[in-house]
């Protein structure tokens, strides 16, 4: 009887330890990523530098606003003068994208077929600029663990959901286990070719929100590169609700 009782007591513990050591689901990891990055509102000043395959460089300055954990986003170009006032609005976790061009005072919705176009010649497409919650836009599985930038990471193979980007067949993402920050993303086009790589770094904890201060997107097809440096970030500032509306783009 004592042996039977011992087995009955130990077996649940063995099963529990096996479950605890098992890798979490991709859904759980993506939700943790969204939670670590969630802010009710945010405002950031960003400097973007585009390096073309020939070595030419262009620099843009912009202000990015977000609400409800990137469910809504607005990017406003403030320099140089040629693009000053251009805006990109994303709603519904990036499912809807509008752009506004001040020179023509026109607003247009970005069609699915145009979401893979580069924005101002950078290596970021409209789909890339759309942001949104990872758990809404991607689904897949955890395929392993790797060390990256001195951090233990979970490696995820992901494919877009119905609300996900239209430009990519899949991505591979590396997420730090300790703080659920995303450190690297490899993008694959609809033919299955690895065309771009995004490296994200210099995270800072601001009011409990993990904010990345550097992004580097490398075009693996042509050798171009675009970096974005966050020069100032605010978490939970008061924002005009009108920022996140199609009607507000021309104001």
Question: Is the pLDDT assigned to residue 42 strictly greater than 80?
Answer: yes
- The structural domain count of the chain equals 1
In this prediction, residue 4 has a pLDDT band, given cuts at 50, 70 and 90, of: very low
1 located within any domain: no
20 located within any domain: no
Question: Is the pLDDT assigned to residue 10 strictly greater than 60?
Answer: no
User: Is the pLDDT higher at 101 or at 16?
Assistant: 101
In tens, the pLDDT along 197-207 reads 999 999 999 99
5 located within any domain: no
State residue 50's pLDDT score.
98
In this prediction, residue 22 has a pLDDT band, given cuts at 50, 70 and 90, of: low
**CA proximity to 131, closest of 93, 180, 89:** 93
In tens, the pLDDT along 82-98 reads 999 999 999 999 899 99
Sort residue 18 into left (φ over 0), alpha (ψ -120 to 50) or beta: alpha
* Mean local confidence (pLDDT), 34-41: 96
- Cα 1 to the center of its chain, rounded Å: 57
Question: Is the pLDDT assigned to residue 51 strictly greater than 50?
Answer: yes
210 located within any domain: yes
193 located within any domain: yes
4 located within any domain: no
State residue 92's pLDDT score.
92
Q: Report the CATH number at residue 211.
A: 2.50.20.10
List the domain range (segments joined by +) for residue 186. Answer: 25-250
Beta-strand (E) ranges in the chain?
41-51, 57-67, 72-79, 87-91, 96-101, 106-109, 138-148, 151-160, 170-176, 182-188, 194-201, 204-206, 209-211, 214-219, 225-235
- Mean per-residue pLDDT of the chain: 90
11 located within any domain: no
Contacts of 232 (CB under 8 A, 6+ apart): 44, 45
In tens, the pLDDT along 146-171 reads 999 899 999 999 999 998 998 899 99
State residue 166's pLDDT score.
85
What's the pTM value of the predicted model, to 2 decimals? 0.88
């Amino acid at each position: 009887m004592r042996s039977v009782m011992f087995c009955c007591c130990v077996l649940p513990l063995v099963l529990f330890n096996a479950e605890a050591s098992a890798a979490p689901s991709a859904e759980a990891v993506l939700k943790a990523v969204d939670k670590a990055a969630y802010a009710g509102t945010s405002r950031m000043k960003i400097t973007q530098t585009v390096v073309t395959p020939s070595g030419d460089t262009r620099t843009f300055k912009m202000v990015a606003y977000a609400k409800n954990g990137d469910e809504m986003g607005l990017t406003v170009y403030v320099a140089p003068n040629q693009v000053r006032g251009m805006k990109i609005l994303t709603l519904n976790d990036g499912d809807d994208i509008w752009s506004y061009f001040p020179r023509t005072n026109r607003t247009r919705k970005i069609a699915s077929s145009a979401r893979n176009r580069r924005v101002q010649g950078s290596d970021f497409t409209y789909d890339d600029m759309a942001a949104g919650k990872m758990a809404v836009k991607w689904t897949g599985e955890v395929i392993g663990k790797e060390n990256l930038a001195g951090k233990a990471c979970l490696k995820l193979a992901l494919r877009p959901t119905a609300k996900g980007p239209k430009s990519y067949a899949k991505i591979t993402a590396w997420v730090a286990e300790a703080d659920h920050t995303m450190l690297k993303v490899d993008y694959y086009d609809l033919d299955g070719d690895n065309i771009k790589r995004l490296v994200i770094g210099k995270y800072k904890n601001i009011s409990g929100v993990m904010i990345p201060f550097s992004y580097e997107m490398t075009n693996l097809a042509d050798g171009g590169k675009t970096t974005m440096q966050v020069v100032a970030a605010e978490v939970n500032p008061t924002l005009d609700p009108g920022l996140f509306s199609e009607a507000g783009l021309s104001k």
